[in-house]
Structure 1
Amino acid sequence: MIELDDVCCSFAHEPVLRHVSCQIRKGETVLLTGPNGSGKTTLLRLLNGLVFPELGHYRFEGTEITAARMREHRYAKWFHQRLGYVWQNPDAQLFCASVEEELAFGPLQMGLADDDVRERVEDAIACFSLAPLRKRPPYHLSGGEKKRVALASIFTMNPAAWTLDEPENFLDAKGQEQLVAFLRALKAAGKTIIMTSHHPDIIRSLADRELRLSSDHSLVPSGAVQV
């Protein structure tokens, strides 16, 4: 489903990904780990077509993802329906006037019928216990509530692949338990999951394998990492 071939990326001439090669199969759950600054968030941004390799190739379901490809509106729209991104900080993801509108935004962009949009919104509200928050502006919510809304907003789009940047951030112990249960349900449904974490013990049991970036921004050889 996802293939990285000798990918290099830098910002302001400083390397942030160095000769990264890996494959992630459909339905696989991968935990991406590494020290601060090793390039985990950059790798997730690259997978979502927000930054692009300077060298090497990134292919999603057989199609190479480039800046030119992502400027093709029809393809970019399809791509972002197939691959969902839960940002590390929900403030970077949420922008609508109410929780209800936030949940409806993605399905409306997909061109779904109004009844289908309402059904997806109600399913997400029930799944993430958002009924008391549905009319509230996201910017008035707590960090944990914002994270639940961020997860729910991707849930309404039902992507085939989920990328999650430190999804346990802002959640209390109960919220983290609910997150693990939700991720288990995604895994059981055959979704592809790639996630980072600063608390990998919380979600390591979900992973089929671990990919670890080192401080020099390259992947640790797979045989050196055990899940």
Structure 2
Amino acid sequence: MIILDDVCFAYDDRPILSHLTETIEPGQAVLLTGPNGSGKSTLLRLLNGLIFPQLGTYTFDGTVITTAKMRDHRYSKWFHQRIGYIWQHPDSQLFCSSVREELAFGPVQMGLPSEDVKKRVDDALELLGLTKLADRAPYSLSGGEKKRTAMASILTMNPQIWTMDEPESYLDADGLTWLEDFLPSLKAAGKTLIVATHHAGIIQKIIDKEIFMKS
């Protein structure tokens, strides 16, 4: 369970998150909406332990998430196995020398046996139509291919919670059709989805809750 209690966050004294109180239950599909600059990306970064409330608290499965808590390597590793983050711009997420290595990085860090890593990678490559690109460097891919690689790199880690910042960006028509099928399949598998998007149609059919972010 995710609990945000009176959370505030500002950049250079400019309030972005202002007294935000929300509860997200396991298995819910949550839509984040609001104009540009309203704090959707900031909230996703906070949920992933990249920034922290300046006032209020963020509680994840009974633990208050703080700078000190995320410095605990053991806890941080567990936390990042539970929650995955699809960045709006895939170049912010990709850093390995090949697509295959990108997809294997997370499972290897989790300490999975090599045969399990290979199976997860091969399955994700096939599911996202990346098999022919497995040995390509991510920087050489198109925007849509990069976005699918970023999604596949989270899929191989199989987190319980998926946080997504405009997952539709860079995808072509075929990619959007695939995404509209993929998100319900995640929910059907019991995953929690927290999606920031200007195109609510990609998740509209499965939304349990909408959080409107005011500018």
TM-score (norm 2): 0.99
> Whole-Å Cα distance in 2 between the matches of residues 10 and 111 of structure 1?
37
Are 2:125 and 2:152, in contact at CA under 8 Å, matched by a contact in 1? yes
Structure 2's unaligned 5+ residue stretches are none
Amino acid at match of 1:117: V
The residue that corresponds to 1:79 in the other structure is: 79
Q: State the shift of 1:126 in Å.
A: 1.1
> Any residues of structure 2 matched to 1:164-179 within 5 Å, and which?
164-179=164-179
The residue that corresponds to 1:98 in the other structure is: 98
> Whole-Å Cα distance in 1 between the matches of residues 188 and 66 of structure 2?
31
Deviations along 1:106-158, one digit per CA (max 9) or x if unpaired, are 00000111011001101101110111100000000000000000000000000
Q: State the shift of 1:93 in Å.
A: 0.1
> Any residues of structure 2 matched to 1:148-187 within 5 Å, and which?
148-187=148-187
> Whole-Å Cα distance in 2 between the matches of residues 202 and 107 of structure 1?
28
Size of the aligned set, in residue pairs, is 215
The residue that corresponds to 1:196 in the other structure is: 196
Amino acid at match of 2:72: E
Q: State the shift of 1:209 in Å.
A: 1.7
Runs of 4+ in 1 over 6 A off after TM superposition: none
Amino acid at match of 1:124: A
Amino acid at match of 1:77: K
The residue that corresponds to 1:41 in the other structure is: 41
Are 2:163 and 2:194, in contact at CA under 8 Å, matched by a contact in 1? yes
Q: State the shift of 1:203 in Å.
A: 2.3
- 2:71 counterpart of 1:66: no
> Whole-Å Cα distance in 2 between the matches of residues 172 and 115 of structure 1?
33
Q: Give secondary structure in 2 for the equivalent of 1:6.
A: strand
> Whole-Å Cα distance in 2 between the matches of residues 196 and 51 of structure 1?
17
Are 2:124 and 2:155, in contact at CA under 8 Å, matched by a contact in 1? yes
The residue that corresponds to 2:3 in the other structure is: 3
Q: State the shift of 1:202 in Å.
A: 3.0
Structure 1's unaligned 5+ residue stretches are 216-227
Q: State the shift of 1:201 in Å.
A: 2.5
CA-based RMSD: 0.7
> Whole-Å Cα distance in 1 between the matches of residues 157 and 213 of structure 2?
30
> Whole-Å Cα distance in 1 between the matches of residues 205 and 49 of structure 2?
28
Report % sequence identity. 61
| Greater CA drift, 122-131 or 194-203 | 194-203
The residue that corresponds to 1:143 in the other structure is: 143
- 2:207 counterpart of 1:207: yes
